[in-house]
Structure 1
Amino acid sequence: MNPSSAPSSTYRLQFNRGFTFADAADMIAYLHALGISHVYASPFLKARTGSLHGYNIVDHNALNPEIGTKADFDAYIERLHHYGMGQIVDIVPNHMGVGGDDNNWWLDVLENGEASVYADFFDIDWHPANPALSNKVLLPFLGDHYGSVLENGELKLVFDSKNGTFNVRYYEHLFPIDPLTYPFILGMHIDRLTQHSDRNQRLFEALTVVIAACKSLPGRNDLSDSLRKYRHQSAMACKHHLVELYSKHPEAHTYIQANLDVFNGDVKQPGSFDRLHQLLETQAYRLSYWKVATEEINYRRFFDINELAALRMENSEVFDVTHQLILQMVHDGQINGLRVDHPDGLSDPCAYYHQLQQLVRKQAGTQSESDDAFFGLWIEKILANFEHLPSDWPVSGTTGYDSAFLLNGIFVRQQSERQVNRIYSRFIGLNLEYESLLYDRKKLITHRMLSSELTVLANLLSHIAQTNRRTRDFTYQALRDALGEVVACFPVYRTYITATQISEEDLRYVQWAIAQAKKHNPATDILIFDFIGQLLTLTHLDAYRNSMRRKVVQFVLKFQQYTSPVMAKGLEDTTFYIYNRLTSLNDVGFNPCAFGISVAAFHQANKQRLMHWPQAMVTTSTHDSKRSEDVRARINVLSEMPDEWQRRLNRWSRLNRHKKRLINHESAPSRNDEYLIYQTLIGVWPLQTGHLFEDTDALESLRKRIEDYMLKAIREAKVHTSWINPNEEYEEAIRSFVSALLYTNPEHNAFLADFLPFQQRVARFGLFNSLSQTLMKLTIPGIPDIYQGNELWMFNLVDPDNRQPVDYRERNRLLSSLVKESEACTDLSVFARQLLEQIGNGHAKLYLTWKSLKLRHRYQQLFRHGSYTGLTAQGPRADHICAFARCHEGETIIAVAAREFVPLVTEENDLPIGGSIWHDTFVELPANQSEIQTYRNVFTGERVTSTRIDDQFFLSAAEVFSSFSVGLLVEEPAK
């Protein structure tokens, strides 16, 4: 296999200090044996110390030392290439990790303000509405109000004698002092030096020179390139002089330390901190309590995370510098494709993709886009179910959230929607309407968590309005309120309108949002909404003067960068934790309103992917998943047994009523959170229940996982508590309730005695669901991706739960054993059936994955270019089958997956296989079949011969599912 060729399958690895390049190198042989063509690596550039995910990069041109050295990386790449494998790498163009003391670009901005050579690298509003922040950047990193932190002595002025710099330290944070203000520190009590020894006199003279040099530095508002460079060079010279002074004059140690002591004050005398406060007031930043960020932060962030500052990737210098190392690795053949993180945060994603493609081609020595196919770019784009990826984007497709939605939905019983709605509403005592809830939560985000970003937009909007006599009467507050309404009503994450292009689809989204905003606000002057709509679609742009046209375009670009985090926070991080009807539907890229997907819709979506994005990723679990694929597969089963689900819910609620607490006359946890807890327990409960109650550590670990998850869930929901304002009493009630549910074994716990038999039954159905889902993921159009560890059963929740270490040695051992046993087996159907009978150990999933990936390797052109035909089932069990054919140049494979297993698996038939279940059920073959054909089932080795009925050919479901619950059939050559 050529590593530079398009991947046939990927395997996601999460690099961090617990999983290094050396660890990855050790498991490459296993991934190769499994059938993986490309490792899909999480970011591995230098990130914040201790980062478990790598998205808080602090240096784009260095490897993360916690992951390994250059030699470690080279050895890992050499191992990949030894097995003919390639690598796709996750890159982070939208933001960097800030705060701390390790991002040199950010520290330079703090030291020099707008005069920093990196000031234009970050998306900072240097002139916000609050005049106190003019020419400053707000730093919301303090754990309490600024005055309290200052007077508690937590801010420490320190001197770095190696670099000749003064800084303020606050725990792990470093706040540089502008060299222009060094004289305020160095000049204090300087006259006293002349009253003592000659050595002090020499120190006085040396300090005088340094102070004069610092005072002569250009100010932070001198923004020409030449002055910026001059200031930078002069400041470095001042620092160098300080280093020399400190090393040559031992008296300087005592002098500087004495001055620092004065600045650092005495906690018993609040007034003693005045000097430090005055010094901080002269800096290019303003320190603040972290909660202030929601209303006044003036740098764009990744969502609402203060420690992630957005980059201005539209700045060509930023683009070039941040991609140097990555592009060198591409040139050296160490990277064969890129995954672009959070592209919706970029000002113009399409322009970014083109720029990236051009640079890759330049590295390869090919300038024309027609010379070769596009370099592999997979983008983390979340599409609404009615939304399409723009066809002119030079990318390979998305990272697969849209395919995960389909692969999950096919296992939700659509006919149960009304009943499940009724069960949910009755249990929680409230009729939650999803669209209204989402609208309300998005408004909450705009008014609280992302209020400062809305203020920036509103200021720009107001400025534009004031330039026209027809709009100047629109007040700032009216414009801000209307803008927030439009954002709350926006139907997609964002649009991609530029000064030169607007698509019909984007035009419709803006028009929809404006129309909905008007409906929600009948008392608001509709002319304001019309004005916003005209701006967002760049209507009448020519009516503005040149300078104002730029402002209008800037407003549109910033608006588009804003709607995306509002949707993400309002939907993924809020609504998904409130609307708990069926939580398997609440995941990134999913639509909780879509209660299942029909087989016909599933086939149509796969045809569309093959037609437009055949190289898009296909996934079922990611590092961002709210629940792993196997957890969702279990919870989906509840849609097949709504009557029993309702009975169990009511019984558990009665049994556990006394475990709740009364807070402000209301029971805690709430009925909605209780509903979530039961689904969570069903989803994550370990397969080996008996062992669990014998191992107190294992039970405690489960309890801790559930408690941690529920704490995160209720804080994300922002109903009874939140990250910003924790309600400790409610959170303790959640912990207490979970602990009480799991306090002892079923013999002494009435809830567990009733819960466990039901959960184990649901879990067994869920395993069959997952096998079918895995088969479809590995065979539908696109490139299948496996999230680390999910080739075996993984019952994980949202991060950090889904980032636990994976035992690859055990997986390697199991795979080696499966390969040997299956190859030595004289009757593969018996072997496959045994795997199904012991489905709980996960070997069946590993076996299915290995067999399918090996077939993909054998039929690479078929899976890459082959047609897709949905196959219709007929007979009494037709609704329980999803099947399709892939054909290419005379080669055919057919995938047949069973689904909705509840009525199929009974006490008499504990496996969903055999003629007693599938009798008289057939799969209709493509219409171009003209003769009887024999197929071989890859999993069982069995041969299945088509049957002719009238003018159509069929496969017997009983034969396909004779020994295994899924079938992957390869057409046998005619003799």
Structure 2
Amino acid sequence: MISTYRVQLTPDLGFADVAELTGYLRELGVGAVYLSPILQAVPESGHGYDVTDHTAVRAEFGGLPALRDLAARGLPLVADVVPNHMTVPVPESRNAPLWAALRDGPASPYARWFDVEWPVALPVLGDETGDGNGGLSADGSVLRCHEHEFPIRPGTERLPLAELLAAQHYRLVSWRDSPGYRRFFDVSSLIGLRVEDPEVYDATHAVILSLLDQGVLQGLRVDHPDGLADPRGYLKRLRPRVPGPLWVEKILIDGERLPENWRCDGTTGYDALNMVTRLFVDPASEDQLVKTFARHTGVIEDYETVRREAKRHVIDLFFRGEVDRLVAAMTGRVEESGLREAVVELLTAMPVYRAYVDPGEPPSTESIRVVRRAAREAARHTDPGPVARAADLVLYGPAEAVTRFQQTCGPVMAKGVEDTALYRWYPLAALNEVGGEPDRFGVSVGEFHEFCATLPPRTMTTLSTHDTKRSEDVRARLAVLSEMPDEWALAVDSWAAEVFFDPRLDYLGWQTLMASWPITPERFTKYLLKAAREAKTAISWQNREPGYESGIRRFAQEAIDVCGESVAAFTAVVDRYARVNSLGQKAVQLLMPGIPDVYQGNEITDFSLVDPDNRRPVDFRARRALLAEILTPGTRPDTWDGQKLLVTTTALRLRRRLDPEASYTPVEAGEHAVAFSRGDEALVVATRLPVALERRGGWGSETLMLPPGRWRDLLTEWEYTGRVPMGHLLSRYPVAILGR
């Protein structure tokens, strides 16, 4: 497989619609279509991770016949699979296995499917009791609670309501309480599956494995493997059944690598995304940007402090039940003084999403190092004795304790960092990405080359996904601010003097408004509402405050009405350089080691924000027309859209003849360019830090020594050999893609 194109299937974009796109994608140069989850989910779902039925291909997309028709179009298909969880739908009867388990309890053959404690606490009761029964009523074999419905245990149907409730295999509790089951992060509507059980694995994977066996699917992307009890065992079992690539949605923190014993081709590319982003950020501006951020927000703490406070906050807010269950697994429900607080601090201090300790096996040197490092940090905040005890139990304790600690680390990292800290500390929001570190301002060309040298040849690389906080072109604009921090400070000072609301939110709003311009008040408002709820400093998803949310709506509208003209003028200046970053990061990502993915629509400029904004419909008709224009002989586009599409299709077509195992060789190109060759077939040169380049007067006498032989720039058709002046090589476009 040479490349992929990610398509977000929705009830409005099904298999037949994707089939109609295959001609365009083939012309673009795409090697495979990469589909969001295809199994039956909640009918109205726009993402598909809320699976209700593992035995059916999703009807809203056209079902199995339409999927087969899509496969028959000739482009290989890769599908996103969700082994960690399925949905707790409303009404709950939509999930037949869960319904049977709740009805029949531990004796049900489906009880082993779910990671639960019996009787299962179900957080569905509202804050208002309403009538005397709190909205509860028994209706034959069904218990109803407003829009919810639950099965009544056979033989208890005629009991008085209070006795009936006590007789069930579940307990209805407040929506604010922790559920009696492992869930996906803090999402109580997604219940954890015990896919480590062979019977559960077989039942939940039968359709997917059949599609692989029949050649309908060629590869898989595994969602959230860190949530599994045994990701290594899961991948070991799955790998022989997958003829093509097997990727894992694994978030690697800077410098972290996948365990060598995970049988997969690599990650879904957040590690590459963050390195490419940093390559186009100037680290010299760090102090100025942090000072501007602090001046506007009042946040004076460093990122590590904010990060720690955010993780501790979400543990207290969301994960009390998970911690209780973990501590009980450690001690056999015998209380040990200080152990619970030690576990909380150890979870808070963990620097990665998983420690990779396998029950019953000696922990690796790296696992010991990570846990001991976290223990040293945790001991600074609570009694060191219980912390040492907790660390020992995490490494050498009962199997359930070891596993549950692994499964709790990921949710704490995801909710504490991705969905809290990154919305509280954002001097340069381009760095606030999944798996990113917003206090690491940029990398050198040398560091980037070192990173590429370690990449598995068939790992996925990407710049945008359905989970990114902002699209690649939004980040390309924001990266320019690292080269003009003084101009940015003056601009944002002027806007903030005109329109203001909450200092902790406004500064993120101004970065977002500029980087996504033009944007409607509706889209801008939705982003700010989500950002405020994720930050959890004034409101949250659990605690809405109508007055504050009205203030956000007023700010969004007034910022555009009052400052829109000035924002547009500033963005126009930024775009002279953002285009350079956009084309450069695209060329680098598409030709660096790994299998490149293009997220739907991002073959041209896209200024989407966090989901669901990045799942908006894509205008493929316009992209198809522009591609036809670009592929007309002699055409040389001069718009940003046209140039990005030219870079994308040129790089993807070059990948067709490039062996994924082709060597990666850095080429010396000076401070303002990154260059590398892939085997003897391809060479990429991309401009970086364009503002500073312009200020110094351009390329001057700088040259680049090409590897031996004659090369042709596939973007311009110009031919080169030997030593080439940079000013000539990059005179038409800020990037060059050379082939033989």
1:409 aligned residue: 278
In the TM superposition, what is the alpha-carbon distance from 1:120 to its structure 2 partner?
1.2
Letter of the 1:107 partner, please give it.
Answer: W
Contact 2:56 2:63 in 1 (8 A): no
For residues 439-478 of structure 1, give each alpha carbon's deviation from its aligned partner in whole angstroms, at most 9, with x where no partner exists: 11111111111111111112222327x5xxxxx7x32xx1
Shift of 1:925: 4.2
Q: How far apart are the structure 1 equivalents of 2:263 and 2:111?
A: 30
Residue identity matched to 1:92? V
User: In 1, distance between residues paired with 2:704 and 2:124?
Assistant: 62
Alignment partner, residue 259 of structure 1: none
Matches within 5 A, 1:464-863: 466=334, 474-475=336-337, 478-498=338-358, 499-521=360-382, 524=383, 526-538=384-396, 552-609=398-455, 613-656=456-499, 660=500, 669-686=501-518, 702-743=520-561, 749=562, 751-819=563-631, 821=632, 823=633, 825=634, 831-832=635-636, 835-836=637-638, 838-839=639-640, 842-857=641-656, 859-861=657-659
1:335/1:421 CA distance change after superposition, 3 Å: same
Residue 43 of structure 1 deviates from its aligned partner by 0.3
Aligned to 2:729: 960
1:317 aligns with 2:186: no
- Please report how far the alpha carbon of residue 501 of structure 1 lies from its aligned counterpart in structure 2 after TM superposition: 4.1
Name the SS of the counterpart of 1:513 in structure 2.
helix
**Deviation at residue 529 of structure 1 after TM alignment:** 1.6
Q: Are 2:62 and 1:65 equivalent residues in the alignment? A: no
Measured at CA, do residues 375 and 936 of structure 1 come closer, stay the same or move farther in structure 2, by a change above 3 Å? closer
Alignment partners' CA distance in 1, 2:649 and 2:440: 32
Whose radius of gyration is greater, 1 or 2?
1
Partners in 2 of 1:672 and 1:401 — Cα distance?
27
> 1:894, 1:616 → 2: CA distance?
20
The answer as to whether partners of 2:713 and 2:719 remain within 8 angstroms in 1 is yes
Contact 1:461 1:479 in 2 (8 A): no
Alignment-mate amino acid for residue 517 of structure 2: W
Report how far residue 597 of structure 1 moved. 1.3
1:738, distance to aligned residue in structure 2 (A): 1.4
Give the corresponding residue for 2:711. 935
Tell whether 2:73 aligns with 1:90.
no
Equivalence map 1:342-361=2 (5 Å): 342-358=224-240, 360=241
| Residue in 2 that maps onto 1:880 | 672
CA RMSD of aligned residues (A): 1.8
Alignment-derived partner of residue 31 in structure 1: 25
Letter in 1 for 2:666: G
CA contact (8 A) 2:267 2:460 kept: yes
**What percentage of residue pairs aligned between the two structures are identical?**
38
Which of residues 286, 289, 293 is equivalent to 1:420?
289
Inter-partner Cα distance in structure 2 for 1:458 and 1:619: 38
Number of residue pairs the alignment of both structures matches: 737
Amino acid at match of 2:738: L
Q: Which has the higher helix share?
A: 1
Q: Map of 1:272-291 to 2, 5 A cutoff?
A: 275-291=160-176
2:155 aligns to what SS in structure 1? helix
Aligned equivalents of 2:320, 2:427: Cα separation in 1: 30
Amino acid at match of 1:682: M
Aligned partners of 2:265 and 2:458 also within 8 Å:
yes
Cα shift at 1:785: 0.1
Question: Are the equivalent residues in 1 in contact too, given 2:138–2:144 (CA < 8 A)?
Answer: yes
Q: Which string of whole-angstrom CA distances, capped at 9 and with x for unpartnered residues, describes residues 570-613 of structure 1?
A: 0000001111211110011211121111110011100111xxx1
Segment of structure 1 superposing worse, 559-568 or 173-182: 173-182
- Go from structure 1 to structure 2 and tell me whether the alpha carbon gap of 1:904 and 1:386 turns closer, same or farther (over 3 Å shift): closer
Amino acid aligned to 1:95: H
Q: Is the 8 A contact 1:99 1:141 kept in 2?
A: no
Match of 2:666 among 842, 851, 870: 870
> Compared with structure 1, are the counterparts of its residues 813 and 519 closer, same or farther at alpha carbon in structure 2 (3 Å cutoff)?
same
Q: Which amino acid in the other structure matches residue 22 of structure 1?
A: A
In structure 1, which of residues 389, 393, 407 is the aligned counterpart of residue 258 of structure 2?
A: 389
The code of the aligned residue for 1:685 comes to W
Cα offset, 1:355, TM superposition: 1.2
Cα distance per residue 1:86-105 (max 9 Å; x no partner) = 11110000000113221101
Offset at 1:679? 0.2
- Deviation for aligned residue 1:851: 1.3
Check conservation: 2:86, 2:191, Cα contact below 8 A.
Answer: yes
Deviation for aligned residue 1:427: 2.4
Deviation at 1:792, TM superposition (A): 1.2
The gaps in structure 1 that reach 5 residues or longer are 1-6, 127-135, 160-165, 185-274, 362-373, 467-471, 542-551, 661-668, 687-698, 744-748, 826-830, 907-911, 948-954
The separation in 1 between residues aligned to 2:127 and 2:137, in whole angstroms, is 16
Q: Within the alignment, does 1:378 sit opposite 2:247 as a pair?
A: yes
CA apart distance, 1:742: 2.0
The answer on 1:433 being equivalent to 2:302 is yes
CA distance in 2, matches of 1:970, 1:593: 37
Alpha-carbon distance change, 26 to 317 in structure 1, aligned in 2, over 3 angstroms: same
Partner SS state of residue 483, structure 1: helix
Pair 1:149–1:331, CA change in 2 (3 A): farther
| 2:108 counterpart residue number | 116
The equivalent residue for 1:951 is none
Corresponding position of 2:125: 142
**CA contact 1:409–1:595 (8 Å) conserved in 2:** yes
Q: Are 2:31 and 1:46 aligned?
A: no
1:150 CA displacement = 5.8
Q: Given that residues 141 and 290 in structure 1 are in contact (C-alpha distance below 8 angstroms), is that contact kept between their aligned partners in structure 2? A: yes
Instruction: Give the secondary structure class of the aligned counterpart of 1:323.
Output: helix
Q: How does 1:55-204 map to 2 (within 5 A)?
A: 55-79=49-73, 81=74, 85-100=75-90, 101-126=93-118, 136-145=119-128, 147-148=129-130, 151=133, 154-159=135-140, 166-184=141-159
**How far did 1:935 drift?**
1.4
Per the alignment, in what secondary structure is the counterpart of residue 622 of structure 1?
coil
- What TM-score results when the alignment is normalised by the length of structure 2? 0.97
Match of 1:918 in 2: 699
Q: In structure 2, how many angstroms separate the alpha carbons of the residues matched to 1:29 and 1:156?
A: 55
- What SS does the corresponding residue of 1:945 show, helix, strand or coil? strand
Over 3 Å counting, the alpha-carbon distance change for 1:149 and 1:724 in structure 2 is: farther
Tell me by how many angstroms 1:106 deviates.
0.5
For residues 489-526 of structure 1, what are the alpha-carbon distances to aligned partners after superposition, in whole Å with 9 as ceiling and x for unaligned? 011111111112422111101000111111222xx2x2
Please give the alpha-carbon distance, in whole angstroms, between the structure 2 residues aligned to 1:763 and 1:677: 19
- Amino acid paired to 2:133: E
Unaligned runs of 5+ in 2: none
Q: Normalized against structure 1, the TM-score is what?
A: 0.74
Give, in whole Å, the separation in 1 of the partners of 2:79 and 2:146.
33
* 1:442 partner letter: K
Which amino acid in the other structure matches residue 439 of structure 1?
R
State the AA in 1 paired with 2:700. H
Aligned to 1:243: none
Distance 1:752 1:77 in 2: 46
Query: Which of 668, 674, 682 is residue 893 of structure 1 equivalent to?
Result: 682
